[in-house]
Amino acid sequence: MARGRIELGDVTPHNIKQLKRLNQVIFPVSYNDKFYKDVLEVGELAKLAYFNDIVVGAVCCRVDTSENQRRLYIMTLGCLFPYRRYGIGTVMLKHVLDICNKDGNFHNVYLHVQVNNDVAIKFYEKFGFEVAERKQNYYKRIEPADAFVLQKSFIGDKASENTVRASSPNASETKSMEQID
């Protein structure tokens, strides 16, 4: 494994084009201008990932208050292919989970992942995420079109078990990261 410094930085109007370019390369779907406008408003919920001062990944989330719950939705979390397995995805996901734990008022955190993206599914399972449901025809222009909803609960019957099990897995176990969403 290559040695390197992993840091997270803010998404700003000055670097939003880097986020757009990253997403174009990493994800099989495209995001509209409203997505990027909204990302600029979420503060700590959107971060660029740097490996030795080079932008190589990003995570973007939003607060969702649907289903009578306060939830955190991971819209995107991805890393450029050559930089996967260096722990960058782990740093980004731990950032998200730390926000949830410090806030203390999220029922769960969730995301969508293509049903055939086994690497991403295994990655999230290491942090206590579970498949909550399968959404038929979730994606419009990619195959397979189905998505799993992966979810990690905080408030409720699984909260304490998941927080302990997933708050800090062994770094050597969580080096794999695939694009999602």
What is the Cα–Cα distance from 177 to 166, expressed in whole angstroms?
A: 16
Active site residues: 73, 112
**Residue whose structure tokens are 């803010």:** 10
Residue 169's pLDDT is 40
Helical H segments across the chain, by residue range: 16-26, 33-39, 88-103, 118-125, 159-166
What is the Cα–Cα distance from 163 to 33, expressed in whole angstroms?
A: 35
The whole-number mean pLDDT for each consecutive block of 10 residues of the chain, a chain of 181 residues, reads 86 97 95 96 97 98 93 98 96 98 96 97 98 96 96 68 39 33 32
Helical H segments across 104-181, by residue range: 118-125, 159-166
